[in-house]
Structure 1
Amino acid sequence: PRLAWCCDPSAPQGQAQPGLAASIAALPEGVPFVLDRAYEPLRLEGELALAPARLDRLWQMWSPNKALGMTGVRAAYAIAPADAQEAVGALLRLGASWPVGAHGVAMLSAWAEPAVQAWVRDSLATLREWKAAQLALCARMGWQSTPSVANYHLAQPMATDFAGLLAGLRAEGIKLRDCASFGLPGQVRMGVLPPASQTALHAAWQRLAGAN
């Protein structure tokens, strides 16, 4: 391969990549490995299974817009391997074709502030509580949830008419991501949302179930 790419936690499953260190070690010499860490700040369980020395050999991609709840702001940054000076120079020469607007610059500047980092860390406790409640709700509705270490997870509604269920929920104002495009038909990707949103999902599901 000319390039290897991995996302940890993964998308859409929100799981740690199994055998990550072994996969990196097995790459032929000279093949760059890019680790997408967009969801790392929102990891609710465990930690990345790589030692710091191993990270120094990778390209790391960080997109703080997700952790800050600003997904429409498309700005990110990369951390280069320790020995990638030549490659970094080549990327800088191409930099003019990758403009980042003032809103993106403001977001990245804020991301570097200690107070912002503390706010994100403090929010993880709240997200863990919300996630536990959301998984319990899915279980009560008979939806099968897939284990996840992140602030989102997959769920499989036990519905004979999956498309009809999603359409009905959307008509009720509940939008769930159909994972068929990820090769996971019959499953939805659920971001961890606050109690009011969970209550709204439960009420809409009950109305649909009653109608059938």
Structure 2
Amino acid sequence: MDLLRSDPAAGRVHGGPDRHGPAAWDFSTCANAAGPCPAAVAALQRVDPTRYPDPGYHALRERLAAWHRVEPARVVLAASASEFIQRITAVGARLSPGAVALPAHAFGDYAAAARAAGRAVTVGADPAATLRWIGEPSSPLGQDAPPPRDLSRVPTVLDSVYAPLRLGGASRWSTPDRHAAFVLHGPNKALGLCGLRGAYALAPEPEAVDWDVSAWTDALAAAEPSWPLGAHAVAMIETWTEPATQRWLAGARLTLGGWLTELRAMLEDLGFEILPSAANFLCVRPPPGAPDAAALRRHGVAVRDTTSFGLPGHWRLSAQPSAAVAALRAALRG
């Protein structure tokens, strides 16, 4: 029996670098390719890594609460969005046992966390589910789903990691809807800093739901590891709340919109079927005879095959600069 595994996440598929390292032209992640954010980089350079952060993160919690206009008790910090997914799924298995409902096409960590907690996985609006995941916009499609009609009845997580990278349309979730769900935030993608981990969620308003929010936040706090955020993650999240950072992000979205338009035009010209998306990424169906993702990788181009999302025969590609689009075109033409 093997006691050690060389690849502990062998059953999971992600974009970004693989065993061969980073691709020269990487369309496979949904990070902000117009980044990194200069203010965030400067803040990271000022960090003193010789000291622990405050283990209670009091200043950070108050800062986030003020920025989002919620009570500090509603702020749940996490080592990453993936860590929060694992933690709330495990906590929910104790507080509200039952199945976990996912979108038809969804980030694989939702299902992985459910399996790790011994929970069944169901798709869509299953009334028997006791925890629900909804993306805003979702990955891989970059599309929105409306809030469930019975939002107050079942603990629901609105994964808003890609919301800051929305390039079109408006959210289908109102402010009262958001107050009835856990809303998950992960600034690293929008800041172009995927290698830096750190996230947070806003718990529901207790009066907005029919279940005991404090029992969930207490259990999430009890299951939280000590110092889930390192000093660099604290600096990243602090910078996220600054007006200058949000102004930079607004400009970056304009840049990404232009790049995505260029990418869409090139793919349409080569016969790809393009699915609608509101985000800085989109899904496509390659035409017959197109190289597969592995062949493109040998040309230094990485795209995200979406089979693991339950969408075989498609790729997800993110907005990238013109030079990357030209490299992708050349690789597609062989």
TM-score greater than 0.5 by the shorter chain:
yes
Q: Once the 2 structures are TM-superposed, how far is the Cα of residue 88 of structure 1 from its aligned partner?
A: 2.5
Q: Once the 2 structures are TM-superposed, how far is the Cα of residue 4 of structure 1 from its aligned partner?
A: 1.2
One-letter amino acid of the counterpart of residue 282, structure 2: H
Could you tell me how far apart the structure 1 residues matched to 2:280 and 2:287 are?
22
Name the structure 2 match of 1:14.
142
1:186 equivalent to 2:310? Answer: no
Name the structure 2 match of 1:2.
130
Query: What TM-score do you get using the length of structure 1 for normalisation?
Result: 0.87
Q: Once the 2 structures are TM-superposed, how far is the Cα of residue 93 of structure 1 from its aligned partner?
A: 3.0
Comparing both chains, which one has the higher relative contact order based on Cα–Cα distances under 8 Å and sequence gaps of 6 or more? 2
Name the structure 1 match of 2:322.
195
Matched pairs, number: 200
User: What is the SS of the residue equivalent to 2:201?
Assistant: strand
Name the structure 1 match of 2:48.
none
Matches within 5 A, 1:105-184: 105-160=234-289, 165-184=292-311
Query: What TM-score do you get using the length of structure 2 for normalisation?
Result: 0.57
Q: Once the 2 structures are TM-superposed, how far is the Cα of residue 97 of structure 1 from its aligned partner?
A: 4.9
Name the structure 1 match of 2:102.
none
Answer yes or no: is the 8 Å Cα contact 1:159–1:165 preserved in 2. no
Could you tell me how far apart the structure 2 residues matched to 1:4 and 1:202 are?
39
Q: Which portions of structure 1, spanning 4 or more consecutive aligned residues, are displaced by more than 6 angstroms? A: none
Could you tell me how far apart the structure 2 residues matched to 1:101 and 1:61 are?
19
From 80, 96, 99, the equivalent of 2:225 is 96
More helix by share: 1
Could you tell me how far apart the structure 2 residues matched to 1:102 and 1:119 are?
23
| C-alpha distance 205-96 of structure 1, shift in aligned 2 (>3 A) | closer
Q: Which runs of 5+ in 2 are unaligned?
A: 1-128, 207-212
Could you tell me how far apart the structure 2 residues matched to 1:85 and 1:52 are?
20
User: What is the SS of the residue equivalent to 1:4?
Assistant: strand
Q: Once the 2 structures are TM-superposed, how far is the Cα of residue 127 of structure 1 from its aligned partner?
A: 1.0
- The CA RMSD over aligned residues, in Å, is 1.7
From 39, 42, 46, the equivalent of 2:162 is 39
Answer yes or no: is the 8 Å Cα contact 1:179–1:188 preserved in 2. yes
One-letter amino acid of the counterpart of residue 165, structure 1: D
Please, which moves more after superposition, 142-151 or 50-59? 50-59
